[in-house]
Amino acid sequence: MIGGGKGAFIGAVHRIVAAMDGQIELVAGAFSSDPEKSWASGAELFLDPARVYSSYQEMIATEKNLGPDKKIDIVCIVTPNHVHYEPAALALTNGFHVVLEKPATFTLEEAKKLDELVKETGLQLLLCHTYTGYPMVKEARQLVKSGALGAIRKVYVEYPQGWLSTFLEGTDNKQASWRTDPGQSGKAGAMGDIGTHAFNLAEYVSGLEVTQICADTRTVVPGRLLDDDGAALLRFHNGASGVLMATQIAAGAENNVRIRVFGEKGGLEWQQEDANSLVLHWPDKPKEILRTGGPGLSEFASRNTRTPAGHPEGYLEAFANLYRNFACTIRARAQGEEVHETCLDFPGTRDGIRGMAFIDHIINSGQSDQKWIDFKA
């Protein structure tokens, strides 16, 4: 692991979900740019002190020379956005698979270069768009893909948060400080942090690609340097239209990611606050509610379900599904076996490129008088 040391948020989540299936073990890390903090973090995690490093460069240089049964297989990068590309590129060029927090990189050009490296090395990269790991999100995707809803006409996706409804970066809150800093986060605030999740979910479930975007982005909290609220109209390659909303200033809102997709034959609806339910809407019969672990679901949903029906499957399980599918793919390819299609169902560099293009386009459109712009990735 690179980053994720004492005081970090997402590193601890990664450690929990990576270990959930017993397929991945944390054995080494450079947990902070401060060597003392890195060593202290490693000690808290009961790691071998010899494999707790003062920098990610030292870790990769040392680990690549260890024996095949000891050296790391995967480098997990949970640093702020401006420290994504360099460690990911270094890991790939030294023979390690990569798990990378979103958004993929600091710029679109870096995302494209990372994609080229993955293709050149033949290694795997997992980009952590967690919400695609939910069983009923996968079921939604398969229903759309099967044609059950007919041709898709309309997509609504939203991600409301309220934790940045005040000038939290003015305190000692580390998470708020780097996420609102253009030097660490990039050109986008809310749209980079959670807007990319909404965008990825819209394309993942609908199976469509955005071709045009018309955005309104704002900075609401005085003194903030990046956007904290925004919305966009979307046009997809099949002629469908959509609406995307992402905000971090909706006071009291938590993380109720929600998507609705409507086709010519019916519609579907999923939200994180009731993650076990997928609601189907039909014009000529009562609505249906499909449930995680229930009968009649696709293999993509059932293979990513962990508990008996009626037991909540939440954020950690969805996140762990990404790691499990990633490990399944790596293991099968290392053994020369065919990779099951459900194992290949995790976000990668293509999603990273489109996510970075989304950031560029939504900020450019939001700041421009010419509102509709072509989406080019």
Concatenating the DSSP letter of every residue in 216-267 gives EEE--STT-SS--EEEEEEEETTS-EEEEEEES--TT-----EEEEEESS-E
Strands (E), the chain: 74-77, 97-100, 125-127, 152-160, 210-218, 229-236, 241-247, 258-263, 267-271, 277-281, 288-291, 372-374
Cα 179–184–32 angle (5° rounding)? Answer: 95
Q: What is the pLDDT of residue 123?
A: 98
Q: What is the pLDDT of residue 16?
A: 97
pLDDT of 322 over the 90 cut = yes
Contact call for residues 271 and 158 (beta carbons, < 8 A) = no
Q: Indicate the length of the chain as a whole number.
A: 377
Overall CATH class of domain 10-130: alpha beta
Q: What is the pLDDT of residue 223?
A: 97
Task: Provide the pLDDT confidence category of residue 360 given band limits of 50, 70 and 90.
Answer: very high
Q: What is the pLDDT of residue 94?
A: 98
Cα 294–300–301 angle (5° rounding)? Answer: 25
Cα 31–36–42 angle (5° rounding)? Answer: 45
Task: Tell me the average pLDDT across 347-357.
Answer: 98
Task: Tell me the average pLDDT across 223-236.
Answer: 98
pLDDT of 369 over the 90 cut = no
**Residue labelled with tokens 């601890």:** 12
Q: What is the pLDDT of residue 274?
A: 97
**Order of all β-strands in the sheet with 97-100:** 74-77, 97-100, 125-127
CA–CA separation, 341 and 358 (whole Å): 27
Q: What is the pLDDT of residue 9?
A: 87
Residue 76 DSSP SS3: strand
Q: What is the pLDDT of residue 343?
A: 95
Please enumerate in sequence order all residues whose Cβ is within 8 A of that of 198, keeping only pairs 6 or more positions apart, or say none: 157, 158, 159, 244, 245, 246, 257
Q: Give the domain ranges of the chain.
A: 10-130, 132-302+346-367
Amino acid type, 106: F
CA–CA separation, 191 and 63 (whole Å): 36
Task: Tell me the average pLDDT across 255-259.
Answer: 97
CB atoms within 10 A of CB 255: 15
Task: Tell me the average pLDDT across 14-36.
Answer: 96
Q: What is the pLDDT of residue 87?
A: 98
For the domain made up of 132-302+346-367, give the CATH fold.
Dihydrodipicolinate Reductase; domain 2 (3.30.360)
CA–CA separation, 214 and 229 (whole Å): 15
Q: What is the pLDDT of residue 53?
A: 98
Q: What is the mean pLDDT of the chain?
A: 96
CA–CA separation, 82 and 60 (whole Å): 19
Residue pLDDT, tens place only, 82-129: 999 999 999 999 999 999 999 999 999 999 999 999 999 999 999 999
